[in-house]
Amino acid sequence: MEIAFIHTPLGTAKLEGDQQGLSAITVLDGKELHNDVLPEVLEDAAYQLTEYFEGKRKTFSLELNPQGTDFQKKVWEALQEIPYGKTMSYMELSKKLGDVKAIRAVAAANGRNPLWVVIPCHRVIGSDGSLTGYAGGLHRKKWLLDHENPVKQQSLF
């Protein structure tokens, strides 16, 4: 397993992966970490994430290899279908997966997403539009949603 660190506007991101694909991206609080040289298997992921944060990329084209249960993987696949700049409620996601009663299990799988940003769990919100739960912190969820918002509010002053 190879590891790389990249700087993002929301903190240092730790990327983990190998020839099988990208298995984890986590955002770290605290001290800045960096690599002198990026492992070759993580170069494309680092490049695409940098483009995303620069506003130059809306979708990712990476080989993914997240580890989880079959149910979690099903939820993570559904998350990848939420378009850039759009949101979906936990209830809508549960309906999309075919079981409204599974809303808590869907929310739990969403919270265990190992691929920060690339699998866009930040695009899932409460039914009332609230920014409910986010493993990376609600301030990061708000930042990501604002970053992806196609309509930027202009200041009048």
Per-residue pLDDT tens over the stretch 49-70 = 999 999 999 999 999 999 999 9
> Of 22, 121, 125, 144, which residue is the catalytic one?
121
Residue type, 131: L
Mark whether 121 is an active-site residue: yes
Q: In 29-60, which positions are buried (b, 16+ CB within 10 angstroms) versus exposed (e)? A: eeeeeeeeebbebbebbbebbeebbeeeeeeb
- Helix residue spans in the chain (DSSP H): 40-53, 70-79, 90-96, 103-111, 138-148
Residue 1: predicted pLDDT: 94
Query: Do β-strands 11-18 and 2-8 pair in parallel, antiparallel, or remain unpaired?
Result: antiparallel
Whether 125 shows a pLDDT value over 90: the answer reads yes
pTM: predicted TM-score of the whole model, two decimal places = 0.90
> What is the pLDDT confidence band of residue 153, given thresholds at 50, 70 and 90?
low
Whether 110 shows a pLDDT value over 70: the answer reads yes
| CATH number given to 70-148 | 1.10.10.10
Class for the domain spanning 2-53: alpha beta
> What phi, psi does 125 have (nearest 5°)?
-130, 175
CA–CA distance, 83 with 30 (Å, rounded to integer): 31
